[in-house]
């Protein structure tokens, strides 16, 4: 069968590549085309263009409306020319929801793996997914119940982040190669992978690193972002950088400061106590606050349905409060141990086998049946 896969972000590229590997095991004649990154391309997906070209966020997506529309038109024409048996969409809600409508109009089977977080805000978008997606494959346990309220029986397949954790092969020489002193407590700094995130979060993290010269801070940096975004760290002697080795870093970390996102769940599944920070622009935050329908922003707390990790948002994301929380989770405290115990519960909740394998099996069964 022919599959057209669209992933608009780095995380989607990783999940897409793992899905492709599993589809190949079940469908020996499978061919793949789509939008993604290096991982998908490495695993046999012929790319129309790289997902970095789609990396618009927040109001930038509005400003770049015409550019995004042009990419979408190219993508739609490419889909029609390729004539796939299925259009597989991975996250990237704004773009992919429109592609789902396009697929439906053109009688192409639409399989949405990791649908957008409509449960968090603008929940009415669930009706659009019901109308345009033939199958939904969700990765958070509570999503199945959410979609049931809209008359949808979706497939819960497990979480691909856990797949990535399980398959990860640690670098046994990481600490020595990166010259991270073993006699100091290592604090992982995960400021995110988007320019706007770094502009707001890096100065905050740098200020806390400055206040704690006895700790060794290590930044999980992204090599395709401008170096100036990390400038606040450069003059600090207790800060090091690693590139594309976040899991190795977390395995050696005593604790972590993490910008909200998938990284919060990765940090939890690697058993590292963390404090979550998030800052948005004033107008962007005001709008979000009025429409967001969930109590928490971190996946860790959402899955547990209670506060497991402290979330410092907007004005609370300041050096004083961050310093207090960092001390609590880094030193031997009762709160630190409670967090580690809760991580174990979350791991068990998500451990339902390989999400990629489960999704691939359901997809092939559905398409062959059709």
Which CATH number goes with the domain that contains 36? 3.40.50.2000
- Domain count within the chain: 2
Q: What is the pTM of this model?
A: 0.83
Report residue 83 CA to chain centroid gap. Answer: 29
DSSP state at residue 121:
B
- 67 and 111 together in one domain: yes
Domain that holds residue 99: 2-158+352-369
Does the residue 69 lie in any domain? yes
- 178 and 220 together in one domain: yes
pLDDT at 262: 87
Does the residue 79 lie in any domain? yes
- 360 and 301 together in one domain: no
> Which stretches of the chain drop beneath a pLDDT of 70?
54-65, 281-294
pLDDT in tens, 333-356: 999 999 999 999 999 999 989 999
Does the residue 200 lie in any domain? yes
Dihedral sign from CA coordinates of 361, 362, 363, 366: positive
- 150 and 200 together in one domain: no
Residue 235 CB contacts under 8 Å (≥ 6 apart), including other chains: none
Helix (H) or strand (E) holding 349: helix 334-350
pLDDT at 37: 92
pLDDT in tens, 256-298: 999 988 899 999 999 999 999 998 866 655 555 555 556 888 9
Does the residue 148 lie in any domain? yes
Six token digits for residue 362: 């359901």
Six token digits for residue 56: 């618009």
Six token digits for residue 120: 């968090």
Cβ-contact 82, 46 below 8 angstroms: no
Residue 175 CB contacts under 8 Å (≥ 6 apart), including other chains: 182, 252
- 79 and 27 together in one domain: yes
Does the residue 42 lie in any domain? yes
């Amino acid at each position: 069968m022919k599959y057209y896969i669209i992933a608009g972000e780095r995380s989607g590229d990783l999940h897409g590549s793992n899905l492709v590997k599993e589809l190949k095991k079940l469908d020996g004649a499978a061919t793949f085309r789509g939008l993604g990154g290096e991982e998908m391309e490495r695993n046999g997906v012929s790319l129309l263009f790289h997902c970095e070209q789609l990396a618009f966020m927040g109001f930038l997506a509005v400003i770049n409306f015409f550019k995004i529309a042009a990419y979408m038109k190219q993508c739609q024409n490419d889909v029609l020319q390729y004539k796939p048996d299925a259009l597989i969409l991975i996250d990237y809600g704004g773009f992919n929801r429109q592609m789902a409508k396009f697929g439906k109009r053109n009688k192409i089977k639409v399989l949405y793996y990791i649908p957008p977080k409509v449960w968090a805000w603008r929940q009415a978008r669930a009706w659009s997914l019901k109308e345009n997606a033939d199958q939904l494959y969700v990765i958070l346990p509570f999503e199945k119940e959410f979609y049931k309220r809209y008359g949808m029986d979706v497939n819960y397949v497990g979480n691909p982040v856990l797949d990535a954790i399980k398959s990860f092969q640690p670098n046994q020489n990481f600490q020595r190669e990166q010259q991270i002193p073993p006699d100091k407590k290592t604090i992982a700094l995960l400021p995110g992978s988007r320019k706007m995130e770094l502009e707001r979060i890096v100065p905050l993290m740098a200020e806390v690193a400055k206040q704690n010269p006895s700790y060794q801070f290590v930044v999980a940096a992204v090599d395709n972002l401008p170096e100036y975004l990390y400038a606040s760290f450069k003059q600090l002697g207790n800060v090091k950088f690693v590139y594309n080795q976040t899991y190795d870093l977390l395995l050696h970390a005593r604790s972590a400061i993490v910008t909200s996102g998938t990284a919060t769940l990765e940090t939890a599944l690697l058993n590292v106590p963390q404090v979550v920070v998030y800052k948005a622009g004033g107008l962007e935050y005001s709008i979000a606050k009025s429409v967001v329908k969930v109590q928490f922003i971190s996946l860790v707390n959402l899955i547990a349905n209670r506060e497991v990790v402290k979330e410092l948002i907007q004005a609370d994301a300041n050096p004083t409060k961050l310093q207090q929380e960092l001390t609590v989770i880094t030193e031997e405290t009762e709160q630190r141990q409670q967090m580690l115990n809760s991580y174990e519960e979350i791991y068990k909740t998500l451990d339902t086998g390989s999400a990629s394998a489960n999704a691939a099996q359901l997809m092939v069964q559905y398409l062959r049946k059709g």
